[in-house]
C-alpha cells in the first residue's frame, strides 16, 4: 500500500516516508503514483538517493521523470508518463501482441501508439482491437489517427477542456514537430484538476495546497500563522474606522449591536461575487475587468441590500424601541440604507479584486479574500456609522 500512502501525503512528507524503504521498493511505488508527485518527491531526495532509485527502476520511467522536471507545475509536461507500447506502422498484430504481453509484466499499460521512424505520431489503437484483427495485419490498419494529442506546455485546465468530451484512458503528448514525447492518463488530468479546485478553498483562508490531514502540527502552524497575523492587521483597519465614530457610538449605544450584522451580510455578498469571479477565471470565461460584470454585481448587491435591509431595518426599529431610543425609525432607516450601500460595494469588490490581483501578478484565489474582508468591513461600518452620525446631529 506504499503508493496509496505516498499519494495521501504532501511531497515533503512523502519523501521522508520513502527514505525508510530500499531503492527497488521505492522505484516500484513511484512508478504507480502521479508522475508530477514522483518528480516533486525525487526533487526533495539527496542526489545519490535519487540516482539509486532511478537505477533500480524496471518500468522504464526514470528517463521520463527527468524530462518532466523541465516543465512547470500544473502543465501536461509535468504529468507525462513514458509511452511504453510504441510500434512502427508495419508491426504485425502477432508481433504487437507478443510484445504487449512482455510489457504488461512490468508496467501498467493504457494505450498503444504508432509512430514513424523519426518518432512522429501517426495514431493510436486500443488493445481490444487486437482481439478482432488478423494476426498478420499491420497495426497501422487498427489505429485511430484522429485521437486528440496534447502539447507539454498546455495547462491542465486547457487539457481538461480538450478531452472533456472524449472517453479515452490516455492521450499522447507531442512536441511542435508532432513527435511523441510522452503520454498522460485521463485520470491523472482530472484528478490533478480536482485537487487544484479543492485547494482553492484552502488558499482563500490561508491553508497551503501542500497541507493534508497527515501534516504535522508544527508544519500546519507555520503554514497558517502568517495569514492570521496579516488578517489581524487588516482587522485593525476596520477597527480604526469604528474608532472614528466613537462619539456617535457613545451617544447611540444600540448601534454596536448591529455592526456585526452589517459586516456579516456584506461579507457574504462579497464572497458570492468572489466565488463566481474565481470560477470564471478558472474556466477561462473572463480575464479582465468588464463593466458589464461590475454593473451586474452592483445591481444584484442593491437588490439583496433592499430585501435584507428591510428585515434588518425592522429589526433595528423594534430593538431601538425596546431600548427606549429617541428615534427608532431613523435608526431603522439608517440600517436599511447602509445595507444597500454595503451590499452593492461588496458585490463590486468581489467581482473586481481577483481580476486586479491577477493583473498585478498575484494569485487571486490566495489573496482576494483578505482584501475583500477588509473592504466590506470598512464600507459597511463606515456607511452605517456615517449615516448614524448624521442622525445624531
CATH number for 324: 1.10.357.20
Q: What is the pLDDT of residues 26-60, one digit of tens each?
A: 998 988 888 888 888 988 899 899 889 988 987 77
By CB atoms closer than 10 A (0-12, 13-18, 19+), residue 246 is: exposed
Residue 33 sits at the vertex; the CA angle it makes with 104 and 41, to the nearest 5 degrees, is: 135
Which stretches in the chain have pLDDT values below 70?
194-212, 214, 283, 287-289
Q: Evaluate whether residue 197 is within a structural domain.
A: no
Residue 289 and residue 352 in contact, taking contact as beta carbons nearer than 8 Å? yes
- Domain of 161? 86-187
Phi/psi for 116 (5° steps) reads -80, 180
- Long-range contact pairs involving 184-188 (C-beta distance under 8 Å, separation at least 24): 184/76, 184/79, 184/80, 184/81, 184/150, 184/159, 185/81, 185/110, 188/34, 188/35, 188/79, 188/81
Are 272 and 142 found together in one domain? no
- Position 206 scores a pLDDT of 60
> 44: part of which helix (H) or strand (E)?
none
Residue 158 and residue 77 in contact, taking contact as beta carbons nearer than 8 Å? no
Q: What is the pLDDT of residues 314-341, one digit of tens each?
A: 999 999 999 888 888 999 999 999 999 9
- Position 195 scores a pLDDT of 66
Q: Evaluate whether residue 192 is within a structural domain.
A: no
Are 232 and 319 found together in one domain? yes
Nearest alpha-carbon partner for 368 in 268, 223, 270, 241 = 270
- Position 150 scores a pLDDT of 92
What is the tally of structural domains in the chain? 3
Q: Evaluate whether residue 384 is within a structural domain.
A: yes
Task: Say if pTM beats, i.e. exceeds, 0.95.
Answer: no
Amino acid at each position: 500500500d506504499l503508493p496509496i500512502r505516498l499519494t495521501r501525503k504532501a511531497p515533503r512528507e512523502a519523501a521522508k516516508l520513502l527514505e525508510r524503504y530500499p531503492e527497488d521498493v521505492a522505484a516500484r511505488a513511484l512508478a504507480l503514483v502521479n508522475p508530477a508527485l514522483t518528480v516533486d518527491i525525487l526533487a526533495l531526495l539527496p542526489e545519490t538517493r535519487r540516482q539509486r532509485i532511478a537505477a533500480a527502476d524496471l518500468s522504464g520511467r526514470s528517463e521520463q521523470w527527468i524530462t518532466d522536471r523541465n516543465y512547470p507545475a500544473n502543465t501536461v509536461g509535468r504529468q507525462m508518463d513514458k509511452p511504453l507500447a510504441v510500434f512502427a506502422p508495419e508491426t504485425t498484430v502477432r508481433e504487437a501482441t507478443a510484445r504487449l504481453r512482455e510489457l504488461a509484466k512490468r508496467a501498467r499499460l493504457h494505450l498503444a501508439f504508432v509512430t514513424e521512424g523519426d518518432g512522429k505520431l501517426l495514431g493510436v489503437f486500443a488493445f481490444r482491437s487486437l482481439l478482432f484483427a488478423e494476426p498478420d495485419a499491420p497495426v497501422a490498419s487498427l489505429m485511430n489517427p484522429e485521437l486528440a494529442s496534447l502539447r507539454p506546455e498546455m495547462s491542465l485546465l486547457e487539457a481538461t477542456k480538450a478531452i472533456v468530451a472524449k472517453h479515452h484512458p490516455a492521450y499522447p503528448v507531442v512536441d511542435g514537430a508532432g513527435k511523441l514525447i510522452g503520454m498522460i492518463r485521463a485520470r491523472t488530468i482530472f484528478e490533478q484538476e480536482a485537487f487544484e479546485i479543492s485547494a482553492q478553498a484552502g488558499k482563500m483562508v490561508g491553508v497551503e495546497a501542500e497541507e493534508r490531514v497527515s501534516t504535522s502540527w508544527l508544519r500546519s502552524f507555520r503554514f497558517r500563522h502568517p495569514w492570521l497575523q496579516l488578517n489581524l492587521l487588516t482587522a485593525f483597519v476596520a477597527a480604526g474606522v469604528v474608532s472614528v465614530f466613537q462619539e456617535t457610538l457613545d451617544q447611540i449605544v444600540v448601534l454596536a449591536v448591529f455592526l456585526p450584522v452589517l459586516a456579516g451580510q456584506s461579507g457574504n455578498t462579497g464572497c458570492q461575487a468572489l466565488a463566481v469571479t474565481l470560477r470564471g477565471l478558472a474556466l477561462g470565461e473572463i480575464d479582465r475587468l468588464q463593466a458589464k460584470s461590475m454593473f451586474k454585481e452592483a445591481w444584484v448587491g442593491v437588490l439583496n441590500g433592499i430585501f435584507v435591509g428591510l428585515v434588518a431595518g425592522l429589526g433595528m426599529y423594534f430593538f431601538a424601541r425596546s431600548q427606549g431610543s429617541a428615534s427608532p425609525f431613523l435608526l431603522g432607516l439608517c440600517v436599511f440604507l447602509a445595507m444597500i450601500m454595503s451590499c452593492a460595494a461588496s458585490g463590486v469588490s468581489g467581482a473586481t479584486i481577483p481580476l486586479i490581483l491577477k493583473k498585478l501578478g498575484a494569485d487571486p484565489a490566495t489573496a482576494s479574500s483578505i482584501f475583500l474582508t477588509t473592504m466590506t468591513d470598512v464600507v459597511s461600518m463606515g456607511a452605517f456609522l456615517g449615516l448614524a452620525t448624521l442622525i445624531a446631529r
